[in-house]
Copies of this chain bind each other. A is one copy, B any other.
Amino acid sequence: MPRTTDKRDRLIKAAKILIRKQGFHLTTLADIAQEADVPLGNVYYYFKTKEAIGEAVIESRSRELHESMANWEEQSTPAERLFAFVQQEVDHSEDTARSGCPIGGLCQELAKQGGTLADAAAKLMNDMIEWSEKQLKAAGLGDSSREVANQFVALVQGMSLLTNTFKEPKLMVNFSQSIRGWLDKTVAKGKAATPIAEEIA
């Protein structure tokens, strides 16, 4: 059973799209096979179970996330790195409005059944938080970096949920402008303030 094939890749790609759009449980192997243009019976040559497809999808999301984080690292300041993360959310806000955050959606859905898939999804979320924490430490936030990182990621995730719930990409766009203010006023100056909207007074 080859680890990498054209068909295998097509199946993973199809699964990523469909699972993001419909969720893991609502997506059938028949859906995935059809989207990938692979006969249903052939799916089992590449993946022993549906759960194995889930694992491959999470692996792929993990590679994407780490690539993105590497790109964001190229910004010259911690505040700009964190904003690059938010900017990516803005760039994909229409997908998010349609289908939600691919990582948040997996965590939400899979946390309910536990097991290794849930753990793998949780690791994605943890990686995002740790990366954010690293930036905040670099900005001089010290011991509060972990708590601020939790809140920063929570805020992005929550805004993805609202964007999806109301099918309104602008929610993410407007949010990015507020968080820009927060980054300039607090993170860029080595302070930490709970981030909702920049000060108006």
Chain A: residues with CB nearer than 8 A to chain B? 21-23, 25-26, 99-100, 104-105, 107-109, 111-113, 121-122, 125-126, 129, 141-142, 144, 147-148, 150-159, 161-162, 164-167, 171, 174-175, 178-179, 181-182, 185-186, 189-201
Number of copies: 2
Q: Which 4 interchain pairs have the tightest Cβ spacing? A: A154-B158, A158-B158, A195-B196, A194-B195
Q: Can you identify 10 A-B contacts, CB atoms within 8 angstroms? A: A21-B112, A100-B111, A111-B164, A111-B167, A150-B162, A151-B155, A157-B157, A158-B158, A190-B201, A192-B196
Taking a contact as CB atoms under 8 Å apart, the answer to whether B109 and A109 are in contact is yes
A contacts with B: majority SS: helix
Known A-B contacts: A129-B162, A191-B200. Give 15 more (CB < 8 A). A21-B112, A22-B113, A99-B112, A122-B166, A125-B166, A150-B159, A154-B155, A154-B162, A154-B175, A155-B158, A158-B159, A182-B196, A193-B193, A195-B195, A195-B196
